Amino acid sequence: MSFWSNVEQECRYKGISRKELAAAAHFSVNTISTGLKRNGMPTADLALRISKVLGTSLENLLENRELTISKEDVSDIHEKQKLLLRYLPYIEKLERMPPEMAKALLVVIDNISI
């Protein structure tokens, strides 16, 4: 993975948007898109500012790593997707309930012993 791909992955992990990162590290948000498209490298000072904002080492962002997922992980992800699709209508109803009603229902669900 390139520097900018690693930055994007780190942002997703930390819940930081491109816009927030750009503002905190003092650079244009378009720099990320351009870096991804061109597989480019930022200047040393910008790379260092980004690593500080993300709270990770510069080495971590510069590392050329490949994302590997085991067959077991893929299978687990598929099973969780199936569960989500199966129960999504109920989750959506729960989200629309008044908070006190949703909390009461979750207490009932938590107390069900199988």
DSSP secondary structure letters along 41-52:
---HHHHHHHHH
Kindly list the distances between the CA atom of residue 39 and the CA atoms of 2, 62, 106, in Å, as whole numbers in the listed order.
Answer: 6, 12, 47
Where residue 56 falls (left for φ over 0; alpha for ψ -120 to 50; beta otherwise) is beta
**pLDDT for res 35:** 87
Structure tokens at 2: 């390139």
**pLDDT for res 2:** 86
Given a cut of 90, whether residue 22 has pLDDT beyond it is yes
**DSSP code for 111:** T
* pLDDT (tens digit per residue) in 63-112: 886 666 678 878 888 899 999 999 999 999 999 999 999 999 999 999 99
